[in-house]
Structure 1
Amino acid sequence: MKNIFFIFLLLGIVTTSNAQTARIKGIVLDENKQPVEGVNVSIQNRSTTTNAYGFYALVIPANQKVVVVYSHVAFKNITATITLKSNEDYEFNPEIKSKEEQLGDVIVVSNKKRIQGITTISPEVIRKIPSANPGVESILKLMNGVTSHSELSSQYSVRGGNYDENLVYVNEVEVYRPFLIRSGQQEGLSFTNTDLVQNVDFSAGGFQAKYGDKLSSVLDITYKKPTKFGASLEASLLGANASVEGVSKNQKLSAIAGLRYRDNSLFVNSQQTETNYKPSFADFQTNITYYSSTKWQWNFLGNLSQNTYNYQPTTRQTNFGTVSEPIALLVYYEGQEKDKYTTYFGAIKSTYQASENNIYRFIASAYHTQEQEHFDIDASYYLGEVDTSLGSENFGNVNYSRGIGSQLTHARNNLDAVIVNAEVKGTNYIKEKKYQFDWGVKYTHESIRDRIVEWEVIDSAGFSLNNPILELPVNHQPYQPYTGPLVPYQNVRATNFVDINRFSGYAQVYSKYNIGEHQLFITAGLRAQQWLVSGDKITDAQSQTVISPRAQFTLKPNWEKDMLFRFSTGYYYQPPFYRELRAIDGVVLPNVKAQKSIHFLLGNDYGFKMWNRKFKFVSEAYYKTISDVNAYTLDNVRIRYQANNDTKAYAYGFDCRLNGEFVPGTESWFSFGYMKTEENQADKGYIARPTDQRLKFGILFQDYMPNIPSVKLYLNLVYNTGLPGGSPSYANVYDYQGRLRDYRRADVGFSYVFTEKNQERPQGHWLKKFKDLSLGLEVFNLFNNLNAITNTWVRDAYTKNQYAIPNYMTMRVFNIKLTARL
């Protein structure tokens, strides 16, 4: 009886105690409406700190006035006097102002992210900067170590890696892209909807153990949790997108949704190939957040996307050669290509804050893609000399043919894939938050149903060319009759039903130490993954396991100069995804090993003042040694692997970026990179990898007219030296080590902002309703540079020559854009 009485007494005390308390929670924002990490939220005897998303929750006494203080070393303190009822759950989202004038709206780096070498990019600039393929990726291509040679593609390579080596997260959920995409103009839309984005973090290498198993980079995106009603609309000659956001009266339910439509006809029609092009790229996304209690938060992220690509080429003429011997390729096409990519994605995330120092997250997601790639295209070509006689009626046309031929390509490729994830993650603070311990376990099931049927037949002057890989009799036509079998130049046929089960987990600790007057920050962790491939006709699959230790060290000297030094190292494994398991002939090899890379990265972060304005110079040197490499060929954005792990490679380089207020009130940056990466296939010797990008220079520049500040200018400029490539499909890469021409591109945007002086307008003015209302003109490829993405190889049976004719990308294009935000 005493025990029962004691229990009831204890419950009564707890109930009474709870009845006398309430909770205040919310997100602390800066002047740019971005969340601020590390803000101390306190009352007299109790305090907490905002997390990486600016979120805080603090239990306070009920039925009395309480003064809540928000403080941060880089911002002015603010206070709020609040009186809450018992058990009341109140949301308050304060906006704090900087102690000094902020740099601008390009990069806002919190102390912790700066220590960990993570770059944070403002969504506002992502929306403003002109780009042929707008979105997060357009800004990434200007970042340190990031390169891309296709303005119509959202894919990018980082420090020698390929497109499949980059992690992308949205709300801590890994997202995927379609499997069958082979050219940038088929992609349409990237996954990320910038209208929904709240925060963008990027790491180009040496990233933490909490991020997944890829070799190159991490893009970590957080979608908005609205605090009030808002809406946006953007329309241009390339399409339109709209979004709406809101919150319930009790502040427990918030939602944001966006709809996008894209039409790349403007760009495709600027290419040298005349086409009938009818694309349709559209998607719908939503992010819904619900606070079921003071401790539980639920979130749903959903996406529905459909890309339809109908392409019917008609003619093409490309001039090349020299001034003394100009040559032209004239092609007449028959046939068409019909592709369709439909994806469904949904994720549920629940966050449970057990206490101020213990947070747990439960995540479940499903991704389903249905893809088809169907085409039959017959290309009849004429290769001849160009009439260069000024005044001639045939000036610029082909005088006579020196070679003729045809190429017939066929594909009936279909893929259906379902990827399901279930994950538990935790964050625990120890010893008054001196140590932060992060951990997680994850299960992934991948189910792939794939049929690939594609072939190519090449005829030159009536003579069919044999497959260069097969050991067939030598063709001496027309001098001797050919008696061997007639086979396609390329022929891939395979049907694969594959299931992959993966278990992965990580544990890492973040801590801070004082070394005299200096500060040392250490992040150390361990990842592990185990996987097994199964499916029809797969009988010899073996379970494989990899373990990846990683560590980061950051030293903040107690100097007058604002300077950080970082060193990162670790093992980075990339267990094979489906495309890495599929060999050149389309057959799945279940025992392909994980590629392994050891990273060494040394960086410096230096903040300084120039012209009485703030600037920052970030530099990094890196070296990566890579083993068990799965060598591949790159054709536009399509990657085909050899799936044999017989290659070793390395990459090293140096990147630097200077950003600051070159023009008062706006921020711009200049980036430069040098890199070299080579591979050795089966001990044949080192050659350049397909992503061997030696030099890269990028500029993001913002300006305005001093006398008319409502007129803004945005410049996006990239120069990359040429990549290796352009070799014929299925060719021996050791026989073709040429490079494509340098990539040079400048996109510029001019915008008139009608809401520039809204603060000076009287209340009730119709423009006061808008946060932003602007009309802009964009010029893509300002200098009309001819940039090549691949080569078309024309074979002449008589002269035994092969000609590499560049496939040029988009020419100069003009676009008009209207933007409105409430």
Structure 2
Amino acid sequence: MSFSSLAQLAKVKGTLLDAQNRPLSNVNISFLGHTTQSNAKGFYAIKVPVNKKINLVFSHLSFKKSTVSLLLKNSEDYELNLVMNEHEEQMGEIIITKDKKSQIQGITTITPDVIKKTPGANAGIENVLKTLAGVNSNNELSTQYSVRGGNYDENLVYVNEIEVYRPFLIRSGQQEGLSFTNTDLVQNVNFSAGGFQAKYGDKLSSVLDITYRNPTQFAAAFEASFLGGSLAVDAVSKNKKWTAVTGVRYRNNSLLVNSQDTETNYTPSFVDVQTNVNYQASAKWQWSFLGNISQNKYDYEPLLRKTKFGTADKPMLLTVFYDGQEKDKYQTYFAALKTTFKASDRLIFKFIGSVYHTLEQEHFDILAQYRLGENDTTIGTETYDDVSYTSGIGTQLNHARNDLDALILNSEVKGFYDWAKSNLEFGVKYTRESIRDRIMEWEVVDSAGFSINPPIINFAQKDEPYTSFTGPLAPYQSVFATNFNTINRFSAFVQWNAKSNLENAQLWYTAGVRMQNWGVSGTNAPANSQTVFSPRAQLALKPNWEKEMIFRISGGYYYQPPFYRELRDASGAVQPNVKAQQSVQVVLGNEYSFQMWKRPFKLVSELYYKSLTDVNNYTIDNVRIRYAANNDAKAYAQGLDFRLNGEFVPGTESWFSFGYLKTEENSNNKGYIARPTDQRLKFGVLFQDYMPNIPSMKLYLNLVYNTGLPGGSPSYSDPYVYQNRLNDYRRVDIGFSKILIDAASTKVRKNWLGNFKELSIGLEIFNLFNNQNAITNTWVRDVYSKNEYAIPNYMTTRIFNVKLNAKL
């Protein structure tokens, strides 16, 4: 009888790649007469006997044979990735052993397959991130997110090691359109929610590190739905030296916007084209180009709004009649050239140059005439479902002519030197930011024929309309500024990584430091340059226990030198002497891998604390952030994150996450109050399932519950007086998919369907339970009673979407 029927087993799995990191299919993996093969994605899995040394052999006609010796324990799930070598003159195997890189660094890895299948109003990488503990967003129309008490500007995003940017002027999630990252082109996604290494840039909260794939053969993927469509093409030259992935996307948010309270004429146009080209010049030189052109046009003409609120005893209704329109346009151009030079087997250099150019305009003139009163809920009356008793009438006129032209240039050199059980990484970068910005916006509010003066101006006479006002008239809110500024930045880092043994335990440690120097010139006179140093460290320990566990501690000093938006205060003026915000972070983590129902599971727990100084206070309205630009506050953030993921259903990956967060700030020693991102509790679920009798019928569930944010007060109010919170955010998106053609199927089709490798059709239901979630409040004043009413600005309701996916 064979060992498989008598002995206890372990499992070896992994991915096989060639020297260009392309997946290898049809590689034979064998030992003692037992054989399996890698699939089209280079993945393999094979069961082996335990407590017995075996030689696992990897062989392929086009590559040199590799042999790996293993000695595994009972039920061990061992990951072994192999880079196979086709050059006979280079002796020996190139092996990437199971170094648990993501576990050591505290990184969450998300597969492209999960990203593509997870339903959401704004599907993509950010949609999946929002199900993770510590990542929060109460806006399904936006791709922006906050992490562990930070705001949207505190997150780093890299594509192929190149930092990418987003538009400056966007104030509403429905204006965003498309994020930079094209999901159709993605190969790997790594995310760190804090305590990240020195090799990453100068932000306070998180790192999203994305790698686009390098294809091995021609392929094409197509997607179409009621929200738009996309096309992605993989191309490979005959000599395999040239490869390219190119994607085109179009999105239309009309389906989502039309589900809100406001009736509109809405004609958006969100289009982008993106390509990643790779050229393997020789065994030592590799070149790549990443390019993106994006054009987001947002034409918005509101017509009528009816919002119901209040209680069952006193239902209220706000009716708003609009005149005017909004015309916004965001054009971005991005290009990056990267070359990798392998000086030796141990020394690698990378040279990266990039340019980002954005042209943005925000033009609107919108007149809103509102009527506020009690809602008649008596069926059969003439005023049913309308205002029966008016308690407030008013007019609001908003005007803006905001234009921005920003050019950002980057030039960077990075190096990597490897030797026994340790390596050294280093880099130097220069960035030049040229900003031309004009802000011209104002708001006038009139109630019952009387112009309401700004709340921030202390006029002595406040008993209108009973006493005539004789003071000066002024806009309710106004900002006028023109800024031409240039920011020059020099940054550098050095980082050392090593591995050793501590008795029977494995120990990984990383230590590094970053430096950045910057200076602002232009409007408001030049400032002296500033310099900061950011030391960081990580330590990971894997005891030699029967239970597989890894313990981590990481942290250090994290600085965020101000970007242009952080230099601009509420009046629109640039304050060039704004300091870098500073955060001292400590993150304690544990990862416990175990078997349940004979399937792999992992429980990740992290406890974190951040102490922030030189804090630049800000307010958030929808997704628009306005800074005070004064560094006059200190703050802290503390919390606990849990995530349990694994195969709850055989062959699928799902997870449940829970997060607790508390973040407060103290401005000018007035005392601690909640920050705008104080998201106390978070619960997220990403779940995949299929019908046992019909495995081609799939189900995908995306559930998020967040407690309310401190965003319920007027934007001009004193946060030390008003600390109102919005209601809890509850949302469930669900998707059903019928797989018509499965890539893993060996069935041969002789009809037209034989041209497809994959084909599926799906139904998505966004906001399944039709919860009314609010992003902000609109404050309407009754001039006679002096009351102000908070009318919630609701997000999208229940929506149905049909989606078609195909691969050639």
**Fold in common (TM above 0.5):** yes
Is residue 436 of structure 2 the alignment partner of residue 439 of structure 1? no
Candidates 606, 615, 620, aligned match of 1:620? 606
- The alignment partner of 1:195 has SS state of helix
The answer on whether the counterparts of 1:630 and 1:645 sit within 8 Å (CA) in structure 2 is: yes
Partner of 2:487: 500
In the TM superposition, residue 569 of structure 1 has moved relative to its aligned partner by 1.5
CA distance in structure 2 between the aligned counterparts of 1:618 and 1:231, rounded to whole angstroms: 36
Deviation of 1:222 (Å): 0.5
Displacement after TM superposition at 1:784 (Å): 0.4
Distance in 1 of aligned mates of 2:647 and 2:715:
47
TM-score between both structures, scaled by the size of structure 1: 0.89
Distance in 1 between residues matched to 2:773 and 2:620, nearest whole Å:
17
| Structure-1 residue corresponding to 2:446 | 459
CA distance in 2, matches of 1:490, 1:745: 34
Percent identical pairs in the alignment equals 64
Residues 174-219 of structure 1: per-residue CA shift (max 9 Å, x gap): 0000000000000000000001111100000000000000000000
Match of 2:515 in 1: 528
Q: Out of 380, 399, 410, which is 2:399 matched to?
A: 410
What is the one-letter code of the residue matched to 1:781?
A: N
Deviation at 1:392, TM superposition (A): 3.0
Distance 1:816 1:121, change over 3 A: same
Deviation of 1:67 after TM superposition, in Å, equals 3.7
Distance of aligned partners of 1:801 and 1:65 in 2 relative to their CA distance in 1, 3 Å threshold: closer
Q: How far does the alpha carbon of each residue in 1:559-603 deviate from its partner, in whole angstroms, 9 at most, with x for none?
A: 011100000120000000000000000000000000000101100
User: Structure 2: which amino acid aligns with 1:181?
Assistant: I
1:143-154 equivalences under 5 Å are 143-154=132-143
1:28–1:93 contact (8 Å) kept in structure 2: no
Deviation string 1:150-196 (CA, Å, 9 cap, x unpaired) is: 00100000000000000000010100000000000000000000011
Alignment of 1:161-560 (within 5 A): 161-430=150-419, 432=420, 434-539=421-526, 541-560=527-546
Matched-pair contact (CA < 8 Å) for 1:70–1:79: no
8 Å contact 2:603–2:644 — kept in the other structure? yes
Query: CA contact under 8 A between 1:526 and 1:547: conserved in structure 2?
Result: yes
Contact 1:255-1:289 at 8 Å conserved across structures: yes
Q: Is the 2:363–2:402 contact (alpha carbons within 8 Å) kept by the matching residues of 1?
A: yes
Identify the residue that residue 697 of structure 2 maps to in structure 1: 711
SS in 1 for 2:647: strand
The runs of 5 or more residues in structure 2 that have no matched partner are 1-17, 25-37, 45-60, 71-77
> Counterparts of 1:757 and 1:533 in 2: how far apart (Å)?
54
What is the CA distance between 1:81 and its match in structure 2? 9.8
Other-structure match for 2:8: none
Secondary structure of 2:20's aligned partner: strand
**TM-superposition CA deviations, 1:272-291 (whole Å, max 9, x none):** 10010000000000000001
Separation in structure 2 between the aligned mates of residue 239 and residue 704 of structure 1, nearest angstrom:
26
Residue 26, structure 1, aligned to residue 16, structure 2: no
- Say whether residues 1:672 and 2:684 are aligned partners: no
SS in 2 for 1:559: coil
1:126 aligns with 2:115: yes
Deviation for aligned residue 1:727:
1.8
| CA deviation after TM superposition for structure 1 residue 809, in Å | 0.4
Which among 622, 626, 631 is matched to residue 645 of structure 1? Answer: 631
Structure 1 residue 666: Cα displacement: 1.0
Instruction: Identify the match of residue 577 of structure 2 among 579, 582, 591.
Output: 591
1:173 and 1:697 map into 2 onto residues whose CA distance is 32
SS in 1 for 2:256: helix
- State the SS of the aligned residue for 1:455: strand
For residues 620 and 36 of structure 1, do their structure 2 counterparts lie closer, same or farther at Cα, with a shift above 3 Å needed? farther
Matches of 2:300 and 2:380 in 1, distance apart? 36
Residue 134 of structure 1 and its aligned partner are, at CA, apart by 1.0
Shift of 1:386: 1.1
- Amino acid corresponding to residue 580 of structure 2 in structure 1: A
What secondary structure does 1:127 align onto? Answer: helix
* CA deviation vs aligned residue, 1:105-157 (integer Å, no higher than 9, x gap): xxxx9711221111110011101110100110000001120000100100000
Query: Are 1:69 and 2:66 counterparts?
Result: yes
Partner Cα separation in structure 2 for residue 503 and residue 687 of structure 1: 36
What is the identity, as a one-letter code, of the residue corresponding to 1:208? Answer: Q
**Counterparts of 2:63 and 2:217, CA distance in 1:** 25
DSSP 3-state at the match of 1:266: helix
Residues 1:401 and 1:714: Cα distance change in structure 2 (over 3 Å): same
Equivalent residue number for residue 18 of structure 1: none
Q: Judging changes above 3 Å, is the alpha-carbon distance between structure 1 residues 397 and 33 closer, same or farther for their aligned structure 2 residues?
A: farther
- Aligned partners of 2:272, 2:233: CA distance in 1, in Å? 15
CA contact (8 A) 2:169 2:362 kept: yes
Structure 2 CA distance for aligned equivalents of residues 444 and 33 of structure 1: 41
Once residues 144 and 33 of structure 1 are traced to their aligned partners in structure 2, the CA distance between those partners, rounded to angstroms, is 33
C-alpha distance after superposition, 1:249-275 (max 9, x if no partner): 111111110000000000000001001
Q: Structure 1 residue 703: deviation in Å?
A: 0.4
Which secondary structure does the structure 2 equivalent of 1:384 belong to?
A: strand
Instruction: Report the alpha carbon displacement of residue 387 of structure 1 after superposing the two structures with TM.
Output: 1.0
Question: Quick one: structure 1 residues 443 and 803, their matched pair in 2 at CA, closer, same or farther if it must change by over 3 Å?
Answer: same
The 8 Å contact of residues 29 and 93 in structure 1, kept in 2 or not, is answered as: no
Q: Distance in 2 between matches of 1:157 and 1:659?
A: 22
* AA aligned opposite 2:664: E
Give the stretch that moved more between structures: 470-479 or 26-35. 26-35
Matched letter for residue 389 of structure 1: T
User: Residue 758 of structure 1 contacts residue 767 of structure 1 at CA under 8 Å; is this kept in 2?
Assistant: no
Distance apart, 1:28 and its partner CA: 5.7
**AA aligned opposite 1:449:** R
Q: Distance in 1 between matches of 2:512 and 2:170?
A: 35
State the Cα RMSD in Å.
Answer: 2.3
Shift, 1:697, TM fit? 0.3
C-alpha spacing 1:592/1:801, structure 2 compared with 1 (3 Å): same
Deviation at 1:729, TM superposition (A): 2.5
Within 2, Cα distance between the matches of 1:712 and 1:268? Answer: 28
The offset of 1:82, in angstroms, is 6.0
1:661 aligns with 2:661: no
Shift of 1:477: 2.1
| Distance in 2 between residues matched to 1:340 and 1:80, nearest whole Å | 48
Determine the C-alpha separation between the residues in 1 that align with 2:395 and 2:513: 55
Aligned residues: 754
Q: Decide whether aligned partners of structure 1 residues 446 and 399 sit closer, same or farther in structure 2, where only a CA change above 3 A counts.
A: same
Partners of 1:455 and 1:435 lie apart in 2 by 58
Pair 576,752 (structure 1): closer, same or farther in 2 beyond 3 Å: same
Q: What one-letter code is carried by the residue in structure 1 that aligns with 2:507? A: L
Unaligned runs of 5+ in 1: 1-23, 38-63, 99-108
2:9 is matched with none
Picking from 574, 581, 584, the partner of 2:560 is 574
Matched letter for residue 359 of structure 1: I
Task: Give the superposition deviation at 1:83.
Answer: 7.8
Residue in structure 1 matching 2:678, options 672, 685, 692: 692
DSSP-derived class of the 1:709 partner: strand
Rate the CA distance shift 1:33–1:656 in 2: closer, same or farther, 3 A. Answer: farther
- Distance in 2, matches of 1:696 and 1:78, equals 39
**Which whole-Å CA distance do the structure 2 matches of 1:242 and 1:785 have between them?**
33
Q: Describe the SS at the equivalent of 1:126.
A: helix
Q: Cα offset for 1:692?
A: 0.2
Kept after mapping to 2: 8 A contact 1:136/1:194: yes
